[in-house]
Amino acid sequence: MLNYNSLMTSFFNDPDVIQEETELFKLPRSQNWTGAQIHHFLEDMKTQADLACRLDVPMEAKIHYRDLFTRLIKTYGH
The per-residue pLDDT for range 23-64, each reduced to its tens digit, is 888 888 889 999 999 999 999 989 988 888 888 888 888 888
Contacts 24+ apart (CB under 8 A), 14-23: 21/68
10 Å CB burial of residue 12 (0-12, 13-18, 19+) is middle
- Domain ranges, ordered by start, for the chain: 34-78
CA atoms within 13 A on the CB side of 73: 11
Find out whether 75 and 55 touch, Cβ atoms under 8 Å: no
For the whole model, what pTM was predicted?
A: 0.68
